Chain A
Amino acid sequence: MSANFYYGIEVFLNGLMAGVMYSLVALGFVLIFKASGIFNYAQGVMALFAALCLVGFQSGQIPFAHVINATFGTEIHHFGWHMPALLAIVCTLMMMILFAFLVEKFVLKHLVNQEPIILFMATIGLAYFMEGFGDLMWGSDIKKLDVGIPQGGNLWLEENTAFLGGDDFYGFYIDNLDIWATIFAAILVTALILFSQYTKTGRALRAVADDHQAALSVGISLRVIWVIVWSIAGFVALVAGIMWGSKSGVQFSLSLIALKALPVLMLGGFTSIPGAIIGGLIIGVGEKMFEFLIGAPFLGGATENWFAYMLALLFLVFRPQGLFGEKIIERV
């Protein structure tokens, strides 16, 4: 076997890992879409916002320091303490729950019964709002996020696979962070499934997902459900934010990963949790392999920018119901 073959496998494995990251964001989309029919464009920005808050709490930044300084001419930056990672995560989670509450109170409540497309556009507005708000609150410089997850290549795996190839193959290089992300994602998905199958709230969530009106008529409060769902989505965003933030720093471009989650949703369907996972893996592997085999050698590289969308587009043209959807029978 040539070394190139093993590099191919390595690219494949890394694609799987990248796919897990996409799945994490897509999961947040699916949760909100299922429970409220809202296509939440702000999911990616929620991840960014969560990561910003986390870093801010950890390093003891003063919120809105820039704004205060600019307005009153002061020179404040930090409280001067460092919060332990776990406490900061709990604080951030509180922030995300507060955020879910505010979104329901000031936005969603007023948009009940609007067309889905109006709700979608409202979440684009929400995304812009949060992006600006996050930057005003914590500043827009690139921040380093470290909550103690090991980073760097996994030496054990590298050493133990080096024998596979020839002299110019040094073993598979896979980042520890990616491995941890996969583990966390697995735990998260399991927890979510257990939650929705075996708890009372979970049953209510599924009822709402099935039929809003019917759920209302048996006494489920839609508003409470929405707050819960957005809080859970906030939690998923936090996990995604931690992973992506640890990997590439907390910065504006983090919100763009939301866009990458969109083709994942197109493949997997907007309402399927397994769809989000498998769609993410397909997109992750697909774009890495395409770049490795065709993009970089023949097309000048950077095909990852568009490959996922094209793949999803072509896929849907031939199978409009997505990976797991049933064949759509249209009625009049």
Chain B
Amino acid sequence: MTQTETYQTPDGRTIGGAVMEMKNITLRFGGVVAIKDISFDIREGEIRAIIGPNGAGKSSMLNVINGFYHPQEGDVLFHGKKRGPMKPHQIAKQGIARTFQNIALFKGMSTLDNIMTGRLTHMKSGLASQMMWWGKAQREEVENREVVEKIIDFLEIQTIRKTPVGRLPYGLQKRVELGRALAAEPKLLLLDEPMAGMNVEEKEDMSRFILDVNDEFGTTIALIEHDMGVVMDIADRVVVMDYGKKIGDGTPSEVRQDQAVIDAYLGVAHD
């Protein structure tokens, strides 16, 4: 498939051209090679999963995508254009949002304020206006509050709106974090193990939210997940990583039958 080509998913959605292309990415920390010569793309409107054993370099890959790490070799193409060296906050403004493996909420703030931080890239009023709570600043506060309230409704977390996030149980914190990422109205949403540590019901809820986000807002999603059942159910295409290398790429059913993937996951029989 070339980058402009579209394809149909089994459930009838049309997936567009590549939003994000990774070309021959290599990332090293000192002498340790975290990612070795990996290329793949993420297409518009799809749910793309990255799987692999612990320490395969999956989180590092997300960190490369949102500019937190800078690869030593290779190119990152966003909407077909090569991305120069940028700071993470600049990349966030281009429309890439993410959640974190170990929840990274702002513990001192309420649920509402946490999700409001997701709107910061959309708020532009000046200091003086904010200091007087007048004009543009006040208008922006109300407008963005409306957007955030829609997300709060969507994620069904109305009752914890004003609760400090530190007091929330783990599952709800993950949901708030998703809310914060959604509030940015991203073009590309990166989810780092959104279901880690959840029980079956919470996983079902979270899967439903992810599918709904993709369906209702048409958001492109790249996610890392360990639960193979979930990945097979919700992902359109899967990249498999092992020891920093790509060992498989394709639809869930293709990947499931790939010998290299089976070896990495189930171990190789040495005889």
Binding site for B on A (CB under 8 A): 327, 329-330, 332
Contacts and interface: CB of A to CB of B under 8 A. Distances in A.
B1 interface: no
B266 interface: no
A332 B100 contact: yes
B29 A332 contact: no
Nearest to B104: A332
Interface residues of B, number: 9
B29 A329 contact: yes
Contacts of B29: 329
Interface in B77-108: 100-102, 104
A330 to B, nearest CB: 8
Nearest to A332: B100
A332 B59 CA distance: 8
Nearest to A327: B30
10 contacts: A327-B30, A329-B29, A330-B68, A332-B59, A332-B63, A332-B68, A332-B100, A332-B101, A332-B102, A332-B104
Contacts of A332: 59, 63, 68, 100-102, 104
Contacts, number: 10
Nearest to B98: A332
Given A327-B30, A332-B101, 8 more contacts: A329-B29, A330-B68, A332-B59, A332-B63, A332-B68, A332-B100, A332-B102, A332-B104
Contacts of B104: 332
Contacts of B59: 332
A295 B68 CA distance: 43
Contacts of B100: 332
A330 B100 CA distance: 14
Contacts of B101: 332
Contacts of B63: 332
A326 to B, nearest CB: 9
A49 B201 CA distance: 60
A223 B192 CA distance: 38
Scoring A327, A330, A332 by chain B CB atoms within 10 A of each residue's CB, the highest score goes to A332
Interface string B38-65: 0000000000000000000001000100
Contacts of A327: 30
Nearest to A326: B30
A144 B101 CA distance: 60
Interface string B19-34: 0000000000110000
Contacts of B30: 327
B224 to A, nearest CB: 13
Interface in B102-121: 102, 104
The 8 A-B residue pairs with the shortest CB-CB distance in the complex, in nearest-first order: A332-B100, A329-B29, A332-B68, A332-B104, A332-B63, A332-B101, A332-B59, A327-B30
Contacts of A330: 68
A277 to B, nearest CB: 27
A327 B100 CA distance: 23
A330 B104 CA distance: 14
Nearest to B88: A332
B70 to A, nearest CB: 12
Contacts of A329: 29
A111 B55 CA distance: 35
A200 to B, nearest CB: 35
Nearest to A330: B68
B143 to A, nearest CB: 30
Nearest to B100: A332
A332 B102 CA distance: 7
Nearest to B30: A327
A327 B32 CA distance: 14
B88 to A, nearest CB: 10
A332 B101 CA distance: 8
B247 to A, nearest CB: 24
B223 to A, nearest CB: 16
B102 to A, nearest CB: 8
Interface in B128-176: none
A330 B60 CA distance: 11
A116 to B, nearest CB: 15
A329 B31 CA distance: 13
B211 to A, nearest CB: 25
A160 B101 CA distance: 68
A31 B30 CA distance: 30
A2 to B, nearest CB: 48
Nearest to A329: B29
Contacts of B68: 330, 332
A327 B68 CA distance: 16
